[in-house]
Chains A and B, each alone.
Chain A
Amino acid sequence: MNRPLPTFLQSDHISSRTRTALLTRMEQEQGQREHLSPEAFQLLELVCDDILPQRPLLGDVHLNLAVMIDHALAGPGDGWRFADLPADLAAWEDGLASLNSYAQALFQQNYAALSPEQRGTILDKAFDGSLPDGTQAPFSTAQMTLWSGDLRNQIVAAFLAHPIAQEQLGISSNLTGGDKEIQGFSAKSLTEKEAFEPKNERRFLEPS
Chain B
Amino acid sequence: MMQEIHNDFSQETADVVVIGTGAGGAPLIARLAMAGRKVVALEAGPSFNAQSHTPDEPTAQELYWLHERLSGGGTPQAFGGNNSGTGIGGSLLHYGAFLPRMDPRDYKLHSESGKGVDWPFGAEELQPYVEEVERFIGVSGPAHYPWDESRHYAYPPAAPNRAALKMRQACDNLGLRHADGPLAVVTKERDQPHFGRREGCVNCGACHQGCRNGAKSGVDNTYLPLACAHGAELRAGCMATGFERDSQGRITAVIYIRNGREERQKCKAVVLSAGAVETARLLLNNGLANSSGQVGRNYMTHVSTQVWGVFDEETLPNKGYPSLTISEDMLRPKDADFAGGYLLQSLGMMPLTWAANLVRADGRRGEALSRTLAAYNYSAGIGMHGESLPRDENRVTLSDEKDAFGLPKPRIDHTYGPNEEAMHRHASRLMVKMWESIGAKDIRVISRAAHMIGTCRMGTDAGAAVVNPYGRSFDIDNLWISDHSTFPSSGAANPALTIMALALRTADAMLKVV
Of all chain A residues, the one with the shortest Cβ separation from B374 is A204
Of all chain A residues, the one with the shortest Cβ separation from B59 is A21
CA distance A21 to B371 in the complex (A): 27
Within 8 A of A (CB), among B199-220: 199, 201-206, 212-213
Q: Is the CB of A171 within 8 A of B376?
A: yes
CA distance A138 to B106 in the complex (A): 46
Write out the residue numbers on chain A whose beta carbons fall within 8 Å of the beta carbon of B57: 157, 161, 173
A100 nearest CB across to chain B (Å): 18
Q: Is the CB of B165 within 8 A of A52?
A: no
Known A18-B55, A156-B373, A170-B377; contact A200-B71, beta-carbon cutoff 8 A = no
Q: Is the CB of B202 within 8 A of A183?
A: yes
Interface segment out of the listed A31-39, A76-84, A89-97, A107-115: A76-84
CA distance A179 to B345 in the complex (A): 32
B461 at the interface (CB under 8 A from A): no
The answer, among B54, B350, B356, B377, for a CB contact under 8 Å with A153, is B356
CA distance A51 to B59 in the complex (A): 24
CA distance A54 to B61 in the complex (A): 26
Write out the residue numbers on chain A whose beta carbons fall within 8 Å of the beta carbon of B81: 78
Chain B interface residues (CB < 8 Å from chain A): 51-52, 54-59, 61, 64-72, 76, 78-81, 84, 159-162, 165, 199, 201-206, 212-213, 313-316, 318-320, 350-352, 355-356, 358-360, 363, 365-367, 369-371, 373-378, 399, 411, 413
The answer, among B204, B358, B376, for a CB contact under 8 Å with A177, is B204
CA distance A185 to B376 in the complex (A): 18
CA distance A159 to B76 in the complex (A): 25
Q: Is the CB of B319 within 8 A of A50?
A: no
What 1/0 mask marks residues of chain A from 180 to 208 whose CB sits below 8 Å from any chain B CB? Answer: 00111111011111000000101110010
The answer, among B64, B316, B363, for a CB contact under 8 Å with A128, is B363
Chain A interface residues (CB < 8 Å from chain B): 15, 17-18, 21-22, 25, 50-54, 56-57, 72, 76-84, 120, 123-124, 127-128, 146, 149, 152-153, 155-157, 159-161, 166, 169-174, 176-177, 182-187, 189-193, 200, 202-204, 207
A23 nearest CB across to chain B (Å): 11
The answer, among A152, A176, A193, for a CB contact under 8 Å with B212, is A176
Q: Is the CB of B212 within 8 A of A177?
A: yes
Q: List 9 A-B contacts (CB under 8 A).
A: A21-B58, A83-B70, A83-B71, A155-B359, A157-B58, A161-B56, A169-B374, A184-B213, A203-B374
Known A81-B68, A173-B351; contact A153-B360, beta-carbon cutoff 8 A = yes
CA distance A174 to B352 in the complex (A): 12
Write out the residue numbers on chain B whose beta carbons fall within 8 Å of the beta carbon of A50: 365-366
Known A82-B76, A160-B355, A171-B377; contact A176-B316, beta-carbon cutoff 8 A = no
CA distance A176 to B202 in the complex (A): 9
Q: Is the CB of A191 within 8 A of B356?
A: no
CA distance A204 to B261 in the complex (A): 54
CA distance A56 to B373 in the complex (A): 11
Q: Is the CB of B376 within 8 A of A169?
A: yes
CA distance A54 to B367 in the complex (A): 9
Write out the residue numbers on chain B whose beta carbons fall within 8 Å of the beta carbon of A82: 70-72, 76
Known A52-B369, A156-B359; contact A57-B374, beta-carbon cutoff 8 A = yes
Write out the residue numbers on chain B whose beta carbons fall within 8 Å of the beta carbon of A191: 161-162, 165, 313-316
The answer, among B66, B202, B355, for a CB contact under 8 Å with A78, is B66
The answer, among A53, A174, A177, A192, for a CB contact under 8 Å with B370, is A53
CA distance A167 to B84 in the complex (A): 31
Q: Is the CB of B374 within 8 A of A56?
A: yes
Q: Is the CB of A21 within 8 A of B68?
A: no
CA distance A123 to B365 in the complex (A): 9
Write out the residue numbers on chain B whose beta carbons fall within 8 Å of the beta carbon of A78: 61, 64, 66, 79-81
B170 nearest CB across to chain A (Å): 16
A78 nearest CB across to chain B (Å): 4
CA distance A21 to B206 in the complex (A): 16
CA distance A177 to B351 in the complex (A): 17
B318 nearest CB across to chain A (Å): 4
Which of A17, A146, A185 has the most chain B CB within a 10 Å cutoff?
A: A185
CA distance A190 to B78 in the complex (A): 30
CA distance A174 to B205 in the complex (A): 10
CA distance A79 to B77 in the complex (A): 12
Write out the residue numbers on chain B whose beta carbons fall within 8 Å of the beta carbon of A171: 318, 351, 376-377
Q: Is the CB of A185 within 8 A of B377?
A: no
Write out the residue numbers on chain B whose beta carbons fall within 8 Å of the beta carbon of A18: 54-56, 59
Known A152-B359, A190-B160; contact A173-B318, beta-carbon cutoff 8 A = yes
Write out the residue numbers on chain A whose beta carbons fall within 8 Å of the beta carbon of B204: 176-177, 182, 184-185
CA distance A169 to B210 in the complex (A): 24
The answer, among B66, B366, B413, for a CB contact under 8 Å with A76, is B66
